[in-house]
Structure 1
Amino acid sequence: MAEIDPDRPHPARIYDYLLGGACNFEPDRAFAEQFLRVMPSAADAARLNRAFLRRAVRYCVDNGVTQFLDLGSGIPTVGNVHETAPEARVLYVDNDPIAIAHSEIELAGVTNARAVLGDLREPDAVLAAAAEVLDFDRPIGLLMLAVLHFVAEPEEPLRRYTEAVVPGSFVAITHGTADEAPDKREDVLRLYASSGSPAHPRTRAGVGALVAGLEVVDPGVVWTSQWRPDTPAAADPAAALTYAVVARKP
């Protein structure tokens, strides 16, 4: 696994900055500000993504899930999985050593949550680490939020993860798209390519294809703010910049 250069922006720390967190560095902040100039709703989109995380976790808990594998977890700041489901067992996985170091600080004293360095594109290594923390004989909530748009070919890793979990497990995904602003697509792609983390936005149909073979939970693939909202959805749902979907393994 390649080492992460702290002098280059990283998606986990950019996301932390957009959420108003403090676990980020100047390159992350500079990138985020550039991104906001291109996509002014990016900070709102990050908050909507975090709100979806809480709703999806609660949905999984209500349907019998008591453990979660959060892939591309970033930094587990306020409102993350172990706070939303305090009785659940949680493993956070991210490929940024700096994010994991911050995560270990955040999780000090939390007995049912751990963070490990790993790359979701290497499912064998991730699943081996997860087996030390989670019980794969019981349902697991697989969380992949705002991460798969940084993976060029996620289909095979996704297949491996869904094969590894038992029926009754859930997969929750949020995924960036250019559907809402095709005129800005190339600007966003160039910006992310310059950061060393190329982006791969997908259409609504493309996001739906990622959960092919699973039972998609209503309301299907929708803008993040529209997935079972606690409050009325935003006037412009596309400001979320991402699609959300939750699916159950039959």
Structure 2
Amino acid sequence: MSDTTRLPIKIDTSVAHEARVYDYWLGGVDNYPADRALGDAIATHIPAIRAMARANRAFLGRAVRYVIEELGITQFLDIGTGIPTAGNTHEVAQRCDPAARIVYVDNDPIVLAHARALMASTPEGATAFIHADLHDPEEILAEPVLAETLDLGRPVALMLVAVLMYFRDEDSPHDIVARLLNALPPGSCLVITHPTADFDPKAMMNVVVASEQAGITFYPRSHAETESLFGGTEIIDPGVVPVVTWRPEPAIDSARVDAADPESAWYWAGIGRKL
């Protein structure tokens, strides 16, 4: 396990943090009153938010299995990792292929602390952690641990699961994604989920207000806007679709949302293959 610590490592528990709010919704214990207050405030507008978070987590597992079993990719760059919980990328990947190699990236010092203790690799594979911010993709790409862990001459799955909503258009998320993809060889893939206001604009706008009041940027995107983030890739069937309908696995998923109802979780999801 490797890590870098260029970002400040002071933890301010008096201010809500997106990784800890998500941990709260998933039933974790690594969160604080400010995180729970924001999580509860959002739940007043979206009562099913916890089930939606679990649905997003279930998609991550399906995507990792698909990438390994169908695309033959066994290397992952997972940015916006979040606090470790059940079904982390490396756990799913190394169950499919013990030699899988994963690099996690997150800017939260709490995630860093848990990464040191919990993200252990199989002997055959490798797992590393970079403490960095997606706003600076060059910093991520320049970290020696990235090239030490992943063979950048072979395809890599770039995982951006529920992270790009923290970037407004003026933050140039398309450019950030493109810069990361440009560093990966053809045959690599891009995995994205993104919250949307398409299913209930009023409720989602209330979430935006609550998040912004807590100091967290939250920018839901439409189907067309989310699809545009896959520039430079060929989007794999079934396309950019509601997260619960992307190749569901009823025998495996335990998200407690109705896969027959596309609007039961307000995320778009998809995988694109780099040309």
Which TM-score band applies after superposition, normalised by the shorter structure? over 0.9
Residue ranges of structure 2 left out of the alignment (5+ in a row): 1-6, 252-257
Distance 2:222 2:266 in 1: 11
1:155-194 correspondence runs (5 A): 155-194=174-213
Which residue of the partner structure matches residue 49 of structure 2? 42
Which TM-score applies when normalising by structure 1?
0.95
Which residue of the partner structure matches residue 64 of structure 1? 72
Residue 59 of structure 2, aligned match among 39, 52, 63:
52
Distance 1:235 1:41 in 2: 16
What is the identity, as a one-letter code, of the residue corresponding to 2:269? A
What is the identity, as a one-letter code, of the residue corresponding to 1:113? T
Residue 217 of structure 1, aligned match among 211, 220, 236:
236
Report whether the alignment pairs 1:134 with 2:150: yes
Residue 95 of structure 1, aligned match among 82, 86, 107:
107
**Deviation per CA, 1:67-108, whole angstroms, max 9, x where unpaired?**
100010102211111110112111111111112112222125
Which residue of the partner structure matches residue 116 of structure 2? 104
Distance 1:30 1:222 in 2: 31
1:131 CA displacement: 2.1
Distance 2:199 2:235 in 1: 23
Which residue of the partner structure matches residue 122 of structure 1? 136
Distance 1:133 1:243 in 2: 30
Which TM-score applies when normalising by structure 2?
0.86
What is the identity, as a one-letter code, of the residue corresponding to 1:179? D
Residue ranges of structure 1 left out of the alignment (5+ in a row): none
**Deviation per CA, 1:144-178, whole angstroms, max 9, x where unpaired?**
01110001131111010110101111100000111
Which residue of the partner structure matches residue 85 of structure 1? 93
Which residue of the partner structure matches residue 229 of structure 1? 248
Distance 1:139 1:70 in 2: 14
Contact 2:193 2:267 survives alignment (8 Å): yes
After TM superposition, the runs of 4+ consecutive aligned structure 1 residues lying more than 4 A away are 1-4, 108-111
Which residue of the partner structure matches residue 24 of structure 2? 17
Contact 1:69 1:90 survives alignment (8 Å): yes
Aligned pairs, number: 250
Contact 1:93 1:117 survives alignment (8 Å): yes
1:54 CA displacement: 0.6
Contact 1:54 1:79 survives alignment (8 Å): yes
What is the identity, as a one-letter code, of the residue corresponding to 1:237? P
1:109 CA displacement: 6.4
1:245 CA displacement: 0.8
Computed over aligned residues only, the root mean square deviation of the Cα atoms, in angstroms, reads: 1.6
